[in-house]
Amino acid sequence: MGQDYSWRDTLDAIRQVETGGCPNDGIGAKGDKGSAIGPYQIWRIYHTDAAERDKTLTDYSRCLTSKNYSERVVRAYAHRYSRAALLRLEAGTGTLADVELIARRHNGGPRGDRKREKTEGYWRKVREALRG
């Protein structure tokens, strides 16, 4: 039987890949010429997409300054596009495939898991971060 993964495992691995070398868990980090912000390097369109699922997500700029807010954005996005995987991870019974689905979609958009070549390097880094 394989190892079970949690939502926290997933978030920590994604944040490690996105901003692991930055101080303060990535608070204040900007990437992609300022288009991606905060600990999870969230783009405005990603936030807009997540906010359609969670109406309390009203201020994109908070992704830059709040790890908690950023995690709520990532969760809303995952809930929208990878609900079953998210629920298993939240229950602590997620599989490596669940983490992969969430990570590839975080990186490559709603169909990021189908963009195998585009998201392969990213997934490899997340998988390594999972192993710590």
Q: Per-residue confidence of the chain (132 residues) as pLDDT tens digits?
A: 568 999 999 999 999 999 998 999 999 999 999 999 999 999 999 999 999 999 999 999 999 999 999 999 999 999 999 999 999 999 999 999 999 999 999 999 999 999 999 999 999 999 999 986
Where do the domains of the chain lie, and which CATH numbers do they carry?
7-131 (1.10.530.10)
C-alpha–C-alpha distance, residues 42 and 73, integer Å: 8
- pLDDT value of residue 1: 53
Non-local CB neighbours of 71 within 8 Å, separated by 6+ positions: 11, 40
- pLDDT value of residue 119: 97
Predicted TM-score (pTM) of the model is 0.96
- pLDDT value of residue 21: 87
- What is the token pair recorded at 41? 């390097």
**Sheet containing strand 36-37, strands side by side:** 30-31, 36-37, 42-43
Helix (H/G/I), strand (E/B), else coil: 45 = helix
Max Cα-Cα span within the chain: 43
- pLDDT value of residue 70: 98
- What is the token pair recorded at 10? 């997933």
